[in-house]
Chain A
């Protein structure tokens, strides 16, 4: 089992938030959940998250918008985008915005945990 991380999870849907929260906790991580990107951005200065799991489709501030702002605020914080949109352009845009990874919903636990592991350990390699 890898090291326990503090993970921020942003998804507007409660069922998804709780399921991912449960999975990550069962995998030994600590998780804080946010319904909107605004709420996350609000909490960012006080919390030392190891990683952010971000849904793209959000009410209010969209996932992309959030991605840019996190990048601008805490450049080193890895963001893993989880989206239902399998359109290749979306994926390209996400990676171009310097996201650590872009995963497709429904996301497999092994792939998610591996991605978190990759994003939070070792030198940050953001070359797309």
Chain B
């Protein structure tokens, strides 16, 4: 066996192997045309290798010529393929030149078969034996050149120009990776083709006497190509490895997050679910999952809805989100949230559904607890979103507003306001959202709400902001205070009524004192008037005296008027009218009212007043009544005693209050009854109704103050009361 017999078949076999690999790649990818073209190249080179081997071993000129003629077919195939590989692979090189090379090579086959013995020779005169190293020999042709070879050689030159142009174009594009590959592929092609074409040219033109050995050059070209396309395979393998790593990382992250993955090819009856997903649905790891299995797991109450939604997604969605319950073996319930996408083919038909699944039971449980708590609240509760729409209401809200639940949900909150407030409310809502905080709404203002039947109710509203995935929400708690207001009003009326009655009663006790107060000026008036009459009757010289008398009448009349005024004020039936009062002035006023009684009963009054007391907040007449009651009680307690002394004092009390105290030197209060003396109908007096102190307490408490009997008082009773200070 000679080495040529070994080398040439090996080149053919190697070429064919490379080609089959490329064919395999193309069959699998179906996309990359360059692999198919490379396959064609390899087949061409392999055929060329066989023909070339036969020619090298052929001493017969006729047989040699026929082999060369046949060789032009695979050669054309190889060259044309190479041109288009470069075009397809690098999208570079002149398209015009590519077509030109293709056309020239195809057309050259015509003279190849119709003129001379082949495209190279018109006639082959002889075949010369050439001795080679290793005792080897080969045959080279000698003959007359076929002129039709010249267009083919121009085509070869065009091919080299095309390759060089393509290499430059890729180089200019600047991608370093591409640059290297373009240089390898185009450069090696151009170099080896130049070598092959050059030698063929010299042989054909009779300059060089040696056989055509283009095949070896093509092997060089193919080595370069294989490096390029093989590099891509290596690259793919690397990419695949990276993808696997990424997938593993995603898988790990998904497992850590409890995220399940699923994919359902709509053609088959399988759903692929990852391990985490299988655990969420409580499926066996080994058994395949079908859509029917999955729907079986869904809670019966949610199943039909999910079937409907799935069908709709397949029909027209690109992405979907759902939440539903699973009814797991053993009756456990689990809430899942599914987020997925629909894969569609070019015709828009759904091909697959895929996405992620997450266990949201904890969130759902929280939501459920929140709902239960809201539902059970004794006030009307409204959950309102950032746009002012009602998201959630409770049963009490239905009752208070008179709307059915469904009629409120989704509506603007303004639905529940009186028409006159609706416009204004929007602005207030915006302001609240700018600065949300838990607070009682509209402090100091009367708030109203509108019921379905159009009636307006007085309400109290407190707001709490809630952050949620759906944005900032506000929970409003609304309480109907109409009833409470009515009761308060009634109570106030009753208190005023009682206070009035008690004042009338007190006035009865005061009558002696009042009669005296009125009698004094009346006495003076009458006497002055009668004196004036007498003086006038006695003559004009008493005119000065008459004027004095008349002036006194005027003064006394005014004094009497003031007494009447005070009396009327005491009797007036008026609601509590609080204003700032000087506590010492109150003490002095009550003493003036009761002065004549004190005088009459021989009661000494000792004052221990704060020199500069702060003002208290209260109704003058009602507080006077309290003091008067206490004063009368104190005097009554000392009836018949030898020493009758009362001590009135004012001093700062606990907190922001002023304390007024009245102490007598009577027998004091029985310690056993001291707690009860302020109750109605409890009295120490034989003729009393026992209303006085009860009324006192009602009045003081209505003022926000307190009144009590001092249990530690020695030698008589001591009553303290503390009244809140006026706001300065």
Residue of A nearest to B522 (CB): A106
Q: Out of A16, A18, A58, A62, name the residue touching B520 (CB < 8 Å).
A: A16
- Contact present for B516 and A18 (CB under 8 Å): no
Kindly state whether residue A46 has any CB partner on chain B within 8 Å.
no
Bound CA span A85–B520, Å: 11
User: What is the minimal beta-carbon distance from A20 to any residue of chain B, in angstroms?
Assistant: 5
- Contact present for A109 and B599 (CB under 8 Å): no
Residue of B nearest to A109 (CB): B530
Q: Out of B512, B527, B556, name the residue touching A22 (CB < 8 Å).
A: B527
- Which residues from B are CB-within-8-Å of A5? none
Q: Out of B525, B527, B596, name the residue touching A109 (CB < 8 Å).
A: B527
User: What is the minimal beta-carbon distance from B434 to any residue of chain A, in angstroms?
Assistant: 70
- Contact present for B520 and A22 (CB under 8 Å): no
- Of listed A16, A22, A58, A82, residue having the most chain B CB within 10 A: A22
Q: Out of A26, A84, A106, name the residue touching B525 (CB < 8 Å).
A: A106
- Contact present for A27 and B600 (CB under 8 Å): no
- Contact present for A23 and B534 (CB under 8 Å): yes
The B-contacting residues of A in range 31-74, CB under 8 angstroms, are 57-59, 62
Q: Number of A interface residues at 8 Å Cβ cutoff, please give it.
A: 25
- Contact present for B524 and A18 (CB under 8 Å): yes
User: What is the minimal beta-carbon distance from B231 to any residue of chain A, in angstroms?
Assistant: 130
Kindly state whether residue B528 has any CB partner on chain A within 8 Å.
yes
- Which residues from B are CB-within-8-Å of A106? 519, 522-523, 525-527
Q: Out of A22, A57, A58, A105, name the residue touching B528 (CB < 8 Å).
A: A22
Bound CA span A90–B542, Å: 38
- Contact present for B521 and A15 (CB under 8 Å): yes
- Contact present for B602 and A105 (CB under 8 Å): no
Q: Out of B523, B531, B538, name the residue touching A16 (CB < 8 Å).
A: B523
Bound CA span A57–B463, Å: 67
The B-contacting residues of A in range 73-109, CB under 8 angstroms, are 82, 84-86, 105-109
User: What is the minimal beta-carbon distance from B524 to any residue of chain A, in angstroms?
Assistant: 4
- Which residues from A are CB-within-8-Å of B599? 12, 57-59
- Given A22-B531, A22-B545: A57 touches B521 (CB 8 Å cut-off): no
Bound CA span A28–B490, Å: 65
- Contact present for A107 and B534 (CB under 8 Å): no
Bound CA span A107–B600, Å: 20
Kindly state whether residue B552 has any CB partner on chain A within 8 Å.
yes
Chain A at the B interface: SS class? loop
Kindly state whether residue A19 has any CB partner on chain B within 8 Å.
yes
Kindly state whether residue B555 has any CB partner on chain A within 8 Å.
yes
Chain B positions 523 through 567: 1 when the CB is less than 8 Å from some CB of chain A, otherwise 0:
111111011101100100010010011001001100100000000
Residue of B nearest to A85 (CB): B512
Kindly state whether residue B440 has any CB partner on chain A within 8 Å.
no
Bound CA span A20–B512, Å: 22
- Contact present for A19 and B519 (CB under 8 Å): no
Bound CA span A105–B545, Å: 23
Kindly state whether residue B515 has any CB partner on chain A within 8 Å.
yes
- Which residues from B are CB-within-8-Å of A105? 519-520, 522-523
User: What is the minimal beta-carbon distance from A12 to any residue of chain B, in angstroms?
Assistant: 8
Q: Out of B519, B555, B602, name the residue touching A62 (CB < 8 Å).
A: B602
- Given A26-B538, A57-B596: A19 touches B525 (CB 8 Å cut-off): yes
- Which residues from B are CB-within-8-Å of A19? 523-528, 531, 549, 552, 556
- Contact present for A109 and B523 (CB under 8 Å): no
- Given A57-B596, A107-B526: A26 touches B516 (CB 8 Å cut-off): no
User: What is the minimal beta-carbon distance from B536 to any residue of chain A, in angstroms?
Assistant: 9
- Which residues from B are CB-within-8-Å of A107? 523, 526-527
Q: Out of B521, B526, B534, name the residue touching A26 (CB < 8 Å).
A: B534
Bound CA span A18–B527, Å: 9
- Given A26-B531, A84-B516: A15 touches B600 (CB 8 Å cut-off): no
Residue of A nearest to B596 (CB): A57
- Which residues from B are CB-within-8-Å of A26? 530-532, 534-535, 538, 542, 545
- Which residues from A are CB-within-8-Å of B523? 16, 19-20, 82, 84, 105-107
Bound CA span A27–B542, Å: 13
- Which residues from A are CB-within-8-Å of B520? 13, 15-16, 84, 105
User: What is the minimal beta-carbon distance from B526 to any residue of chain A, in angstroms?
Assistant: 4
Residue of B nearest to A62 (CB): B602
Bound CA span A106–B515, Å: 11
- Contact present for A15 and B522 (CB under 8 Å): no
User: What is the minimal beta-carbon distance from A17 to any residue of chain B, in angstroms?
Assistant: 9
User: What is the minimal beta-carbon distance from B44 to any residue of chain A, in angstroms?
Assistant: 149
- Contact present for A16 and B524 (CB under 8 Å): yes
- Which residues from A are CB-within-8-Å of B522? 105-106
- Contact present for B549 and A22 (CB under 8 Å): yes
- Contact present for B552 and A15 (CB under 8 Å): yes
- Which residues from B are CB-within-8-Å of A16? 520, 523-524, 527
Residue of A nearest to B526 (CB): A106
- Which residues from B are CB-within-8-Å of A108? 526, 530
Bound CA span A85–B532, Å: 26
Residue of B nearest to A59 (CB): B599
Bound CA span A23–B523, Å: 11
Q: Out of B516, B535, B548, B559, name the residue touching A15 (CB < 8 Å).
A: B559
Bound CA span A108–B534, Å: 13
- Which residues from A are CB-within-8-Å of B516? 57, 84-85
- Given A22-B545, A108-B526: A84 touches B531 (CB 8 Å cut-off): no
Residue of A nearest to B597 (CB): A57
- Contact present for A27 and B596 (CB under 8 Å): no
Q: Out of B530, B542, B600, name the residue touching A57 (CB < 8 Å).
A: B600
- Which residues from B are CB-within-8-Å of A15? 520-521, 524, 552, 555-556, 559
The A-contacting residues of B in range 597-625, CB under 8 angstroms, are 599-600, 602
- Given A19-B523, A106-B523, A107-B527: A84 touches B534 (CB 8 Å cut-off): no
- Which residues from B are CB-within-8-Å of A85? 512, 515-516
User: What is the minimal beta-carbon distance from A62 to any residue of chain B, in angstroms?
Assistant: 7
- Contact present for A23 and B530 (CB under 8 Å): yes
- Which residues from A are CB-within-8-Å of B542? 26
User: What is the minimal beta-carbon distance from A30 to any residue of chain B, in angstroms?
Assistant: 14
Bound CA span A75–B555, Å: 38
Bound CA span A59–B598, Å: 10
The B-contacting residues of A in range 1-22, CB under 8 angstroms, are 12-13, 15-16, 18-20, 22
- Which residues from B are CB-within-8-Å of A22? 527-528, 531, 535, 545, 548-549, 552
User: What is the minimal beta-carbon distance from B543 to any residue of chain A, in angstroms?
Assistant: 13
- Which residues from A are CB-within-8-Å of B538? 26
Bound CA span A108–B529, Å: 10
User: What is the minimal beta-carbon distance from A16 to any residue of chain B, in angstroms?
Assistant: 5
Bound CA span A19–B528, Å: 5
User: What is the minimal beta-carbon distance from B606 to any residue of chain A, in angstroms?
Assistant: 15
- Which residues from B are CB-within-8-Å of A109? 526-527, 530-531, 534
User: What is the minimal beta-carbon distance from B447 to any residue of chain A, in angstroms?
Assistant: 57
Bound CA span A65–B525, Å: 28
What would be 16 A-B contacts, judged by CB atoms less than 8 Å apart?
A: A12-B599, A13-B520, A13-B524, A15-B520, A15-B521, A19-B524, A19-B526, A20-B524, A22-B535, A26-B531, A58-B599, A82-B523, A84-B519, A85-B516, A105-B519, A106-B523
User: Known pairs A13-B524, A84-B519, A85-B516. 20 more at Cβ < 8 A?
Assistant: A13-B520, A15-B524, A15-B556, A15-B559, A18-B552, A19-B523, A19-B524, A20-B523, A22-B527, A22-B528, A22-B545, A22-B549, A23-B534, A25-B531, A26-B534, A57-B596, A62-B602, A107-B526, A108-B530, A109-B526
10 nearest A-B residue pairs (beta carbon): A84-B519, A109-B530, A19-B527, A19-B524, A23-B531, A26-B534, A106-B523, A106-B526, A22-B531, A106-B522
